[in-house]
Amino acid sequence: MNKANEGLSNVMNRFEISPEILAANERIEKEQEETEKQRRKEQIQEMRKAVLESFPLRFRNSSFDNYELDADKNIREKQEYLIWKLREGVSLIMYGKNGTGKTRLAFASMRDKVLKGQSVKYMTASEFFDEIKLTFNNTIKVSDVLGKYLHYDNLFIDEVDKTYGTVTEFIALFRLIDKRYLDLKPTVLIANATKENVIDVIGRSSYERIVEDGTAILMDWESYRAKNRVNK
């Protein structure tokens, strides 16, 4: 070996990394990865907790597990089917008389979705229409309002029956339902009304888009509110 090669070999040997150092570096990298995974996990848990704590106090602890099923077999089977469809995460219309637990089940479903890592949004139809009204004076665009609600994995719109909107507002509601339908994102509508009333309010086209991938379920059992008043 000439002196030049010998000198190069000596330099390389001085900078050779020992197996112990390599192992230590691998261990440090693994620990850093685990720390980052734990940090992300805690961050996700905090975000989910914040969403759940934003629920109205009355429904904050609502879940499928604590939903009170009816003693009557036929009614209980219908309730169990409804819960199954909500767990499945399809578009849905819950309609029927007051006090049968429609909103409570909506928040139970949202809790289920949040714990599965999905995004949720609850609003009343009148709240949506109030936002659409802001577009009348060009404060914001209709597309901006719709865009707010398109990215949610699950959207729940309550009190559809209590809405007295203009043609423009109902067209906006149809556009929202239609865009989510095209993106295969479930939308759940809630109404204290008959099926015919629901169709009259939202229109046949919106109704058909909801039930095509999902269903409409009549909640016609005894009112929980009335039952609780009797038992007090």
DSSP state of 161: G
What pLDDT, on a 0 to 100 scale, did the predictor assign at position 52? Answer: 87
Other Cβ atoms within 10 Å of 196 Cβ, number: 9
- End-to-end alpha-carbon separation of the chain, Å? 101
Whether 229 shows a pLDDT value over 60: the answer reads: no
* Average pLDDT value for residue range 138-164: 91
pLDDT digit string, tens, across residues 32-80: 777 777 777 777 778 888 888 988 999 999 999 999 899 999 999 999 9
For CA atoms 127, 130, 135, 139, give the dihedral sign: negative
Q: Strand, helix or coil at 220?
A: coil
Amino acid at site 130: D
Question: Does an H or E element contain 50, and which?
Answer: helix 19-53
Q: Does domain 57-231 have CATH number 3.40.50.300?
A: yes
Residue 8's pLDDT band (cuts 50, 70, 90): very low
Rounded distance between C-alpha atoms, residue 69 and residue 57, angstroms: 22
Q: Contact 67/94 with Cβ under 8 angstroms? A: no
What percent of the chain clears pLDDT 90, i.e. is strictly above it? 63
